[in-house]
Amino acid sequence: MAQTVADVMWEMLVKAGVKRCYGIVGDALNPVIDALRRNGKIDFIHVRNEEYGVFAAVAEAYLTENPVVVCGTAGPGVTHLFNGLMDALKEGAPVIAIAGDVDTKLMDTFPRQELNPYKFFDAACLYVGRIVNPEQLRSVVTTAILTAVLDKGPTVIVLPGDVAAADVPSRAHDFTVPVRPILCPSESDLRRLAGMIDAAGKVTILGGEGCRYAREEVIQLSEKMKAPVAYSLRGKQWLEHDNPNAVGMTGLLGYGGAYRAINDADLLLLLGTDFPYSEFLPGDGVKKVQIDTDPKHIGRRIAVDLGLVGDIRSTVAALLPLVRKKADGHFLDQRIAETRSFEELLGHYVTKGPQIKPIRPEFLAAILNELAADDAMFFVDTGTACMWAARHMRGGKNRRMFGSFAWGSMANASPNAFGAQLAYPGRQTIALCGDGGFTMLGLGDLLTEVERKTPVVHIILNNEKLDFVSIEMQEAGMVPFGVDFKNPDFAKVAKAMGAKGIRIEEPGDVRAGVAEALAHTSGPVVVDVVVDPFALALPSHVPFHTAKGFTLSMAKQVLKGKMDDVIKTMEHNVRLI
């Protein structure tokens, strides 16, 4: 049998390192998935919702840095891919989407399920190639692969069913993925930067995801400059653990000495971070230097005094010998002391945790952190889970933490963890889920995990609330509205679906329940933890408008007869305010 367009497309994708394709078959995709079956080298992960498949692919692609394929069929199947592709774009994950398309003879005639792929994917993808003629195959597939891998983001191959099933033209479809160059600023620019560092009394580093391979170099530089090291949520896993100069995070999730480290410095070095909350970044009193591989990141959040385009590892390595060692460690010592005292404050709920009911999420996060393996992979839902993970989970050389940190979608943790577990079978994989997030996406595809016997540990923060939004509303001075809901017993639901289920209502049961879940390796487990719905999570530095808004909200709630809730929130959080 002659090879079809779809056959050769899969061959090329296999050569690019693709191991899995997540999605749902149907209509236009049938010949595409039939060719995948014939190929035999790609595992087809039949999910229950395409969106779940994309979030799984994003985690796999981010962790392995290999391209991962997702697919959805013409129209509705394709639309389910969109949110996950936006996530891939923002998290920098090489995901390639195969979008089914109506037969070419129907294009632009308003048939059922047609969708203009260029318009639709415009915001989400770095490249959209629509194959309407088999002769395009080599160019479109090569471009989709190379763009995804080299520019680190999602691309789309749009494939009508009739073209997928057509014979392929007889020509070579071999290709290689070229190696990316390592960018480093010129020596004169590095000398200029070294001069600015030497002239500054107090220097602080704020590092992000760009420090992924630069941890040792950044710590060495901080030692030499006596500089506190603050980080974004994406930078935390690379810069916090085993770093004597780590001072925590700034921004909405802030903790530790980071806020003052950043705002009281003479010079702030922004390394590989596109930190989006400019209100938490300092004004003109602090000089700023930003280094990033992506020139578009430089200066887009705040004005910088010097911007350098470069890979953080090689740039910092080249900078190190040019910088003079500083003698005065006073500024650094103060920020470290602040970080320690904030840790003690946060420790309140951890040490008191076993006696406090309902269960404090901080206590749960701290126990999880303590019991998890040294090479555990944590996935964190958008919501309060991010706050507890940021403040109470500690990284390690081989620990990983990932979430929808740059895009901020709900419901990412469960599918992220699933994708990671498929890529690293047997490695401990933990999803810290909101109850809103888990019921949005994770619950349906728990069936997929059961079928695959994938050992993902889901820890559900059961607060019967969109708690993060409730806090947002209170900070803005509103009465929380539209944020409450009722949950079933998730442990019972999990059992009915064929997974292991554990329900924890008593604080004294947290340790044993989490340990039991982590020891379960023959399939997915859902730990339904009934946590305090009034657990507040204010940042370490509360801007004036937030404090004002919060007080206003409390006053409004009293007027609406919600005095009980107000008292509970105040009472439960008195140590944090």
Q: What is the 3-state secondary structure (H, E, C) of 12-25?
A: HHHHCCCCEEEECC
Cβ at position 382, least distance to Mg ion in Å: 11
Q: Candidates 218-226, 280-288, 290-298, 406-414 — which segment interacts with ligand TPP by CB under 6 A?
A: 406-414
Cβ at position 471, least distance to ligand TPP in Å: 8
Number of H helices, E strands in the chain: 24, 18
Amino acid 164 reads A
The footprint of ligand TPP on this chain (CB under 6 A) covers a number of residues equal to 19
Q: Which does 469 bind (CB under 5 to 8 A by kind): Mg ion, ligand TPP, none?
A: ligand TPP
At a CB cut-off of 8 Å and minimum separation 6, what does 385 contact?
A: 403, 413, 432, 433, 434, 437, 461
Q: Which does 390 bind (CB under 5 to 8 A by kind): ligand TPP, Mg ion, none?
A: none
Cβ at position 83, least distance to ligand TPP in Å: 7
Q: Candidates 184-192, 363-371, 413-421, 432-440 — which segment interacts with ligand TPP by CB under 6 A?
A: 432-440
3-state DSSP call for residue 157? strand
Burial of 150 per CB tally in 10 Å (0-12, 13-18, 19+): middle
Beta bridge partners of 72: 99
Amino acid 97 reads A
Q: Which of 76, 347, 408, 444 binds ligand TPP (CB under 6 A)?
A: 408
Which strand (E) or helix (H) includes residue 564?
helix 563-573
* Residue keyed to tokens 């080599």: 138
Which strand (E) or helix (H) includes residue 334?
helix 330-352
Least Cα distance to 35 among 3, 58, 13 occurs for 3
Q: Which of 436, 480, 507, 524 binds ligand TPP (CB under 6 A)?
A: 436
Amino acid 504 reads I
Query: Is 436 an interacting residue with respect to Mg ion (CB under 5 A)?
Result: yes
Query: Is 437 an interacting residue with respect to ligand TPP (CB under 6 A)?
Result: yes
Q: Candidates 199-207, 377-385, 520-528, 540-548 — which segment interacts with ligand TPP by CB under 6 A?
A: 377-385
292 vs 435 by CB, closer to ligand TPP = 435
* Token couple for 225: 């400059």
Query: Is 129 an interacting residue with respect to Mg ion (CB under 5 A)?
Result: no
Cβ at position 411, least distance to ligand TPP in Å: 6
Site string for Mg ion, 387-426 (x = CB under 5 A): ----------------------------------------
| Alpha carbons 549 and 553: distance in angstroms, whole number | 6
Q: Tell how strand 500-504 and strand 155-160 pair up.
A: unpaired
Which strand (E) or helix (H) includes residue 474?
helix 467-475
CB 203 within 8 A of CB 265: yes
Q: Which of 185, 434, 480, 539 binds Mg ion (CB under 5 A)?
A: 434
| Alpha carbons 176 and 169: distance in angstroms, whole number | 20
CB 128 within 8 A of CB 156: yes
Q: Which of 77, 434, 507, 524 binds ligand TPP (CB under 6 A)?
A: 434
Q: Which of 467, 475, 528, 532 binds ligand TPP (CB under 6 A)?
A: 467
Query: Is 463 an interacting residue with respect to Mg ion (CB under 5 A)?
Result: yes
Q: Which of 369, 463, 474, 540 binds ligand TPP (CB under 6 A)?
A: 463
Q: Which of 209, 435, 449, 532 binds ligand TPP (CB under 6 A)?
A: 435
Q: Which of 410, 499, 518, 530 binds ligand TPP (CB under 6 A)?
A: 410
Evaluate the omega torsion of the peptide bond into residue 358 and state whether it is cis, within 30 degrees of 0: yes
* Token couple for 87: 């996530």
209 vs 532 by CB, closer to ligand TPP = 532
CA angle 427/238/16 to nearest 5° reads 60
| Alpha carbons 517 and 494: distance in angstroms, whole number | 13
Q: What is the 3-state secondary structure (H, E, C) of 479-537?
A: CCCCCECCCCCHHHHHHHCCCEEEEECCHHHHHHHHHHHHHCCCCCEEEEEEECCCCCC
Q: Candidates 92-100, 281-289, 356-364, 467-475 — which segment interacts with Mg ion by CB under 5 A?
A: 467-475
Burial of 542 per CB tally in 10 Å (0-12, 13-18, 19+): middle
Q: Which does 95 bind (CB under 5 to 8 A by kind): Mg ion, ligand TPP, none?
A: none
Cβ at position 478, least distance to ligand TPP in Å: 14
Query: Is 385 an interacting residue with respect to ligand TPP (CB under 6 A)?
Result: yes
Least Cα distance to 9 among 27, 33, 44 occurs for 33
77 vs 436 by CB, closer to Mg ion = 436
Q: Which does 92 bind (CB under 5 to 8 A by kind): Mg ion, ligand TPP, none?
A: none
Cβ at position 444, least distance to ligand TPP in Å: 15
321 vs 482 by CB, closer to ligand TPP = 482
Query: Is 85 an interacting residue with respect to ligand TPP (CB under 6 A)?
Result: no
The conformational region for residue 251 under phi > 0 = left, psi -120 to 50 = alpha, else beta, is left
Query: Is 480 an interacting residue with respect to ligand TPP (CB under 6 A)?
Result: no
467 vs 528 by CB, closer to ligand TPP = 467
Cβ at position 478, least distance to Mg ion in Å: 18
Cβ at position 432, least distance to ligand TPP in Å: 9
42 vs 493 by CB, closer to Mg ion = 493
The footprint of Mg ion on this chain (CB under 5 A) covers a number of residues equal to 6
* Token couple for 363: 């206590």
Q: Which residues contribute to the site for Mg ion (CB under 5 A)?
A: 434-436, 463, 465, 467
Q: Which residues contribute to the site for ligand TPP (CB under 6 A)?
A: 381-385, 408-410, 434-437, 461, 463, 465-469
